Structure 1
Amino acid sequence: MSRNGLFAVIAVLAIAVVAFAIYTYQQEQARPGIEVRVDDTGISIDGNG
């Protein structure tokens, strides 16, 4: 494999890692601020505040 091909593979892998990190961060930020649970013990409401 030529040196330019190796650099291209490394660049593609680096871009994929950065894109995955951005996607994961956006998914974490998109979570709702309030969580409501209903179970055997009753109703629980949790917030991010």
Structure 2
Amino acid sequence: MTLSRNTLVLLVAMLVLGLGAVSYALYQEKKQPEGVEISVGKNGLSIKEK
């Protein structure tokens, strides 16, 4: 019974870590970059402060 309990604890820990990793990745993707955005288009050079 100890082996199955340890396996269950390991599985739950892996799920929590996986959820944390996915949450952090989504947070980084949604976060707006800071600084200056420089674009070159058909109207010329454009610089925007973020």
Identity %: 13
Larger radius of gyration: 2
TM-score by length of 2: 0.63
What 5-or-longer segments of structure 2 have no aligned partner? 40-50
What 5-or-longer segments of structure 1 have no aligned partner? 36-44
Q: Where in structure 1 do 4 or more consecutive aligned residues deviate above 6 Å?
A: none
Residue 46, structure 1, aligned to residue 42, structure 2: no
Aligned residues: CA RMSD: 2.0
Q: How many residues align?
A: 38
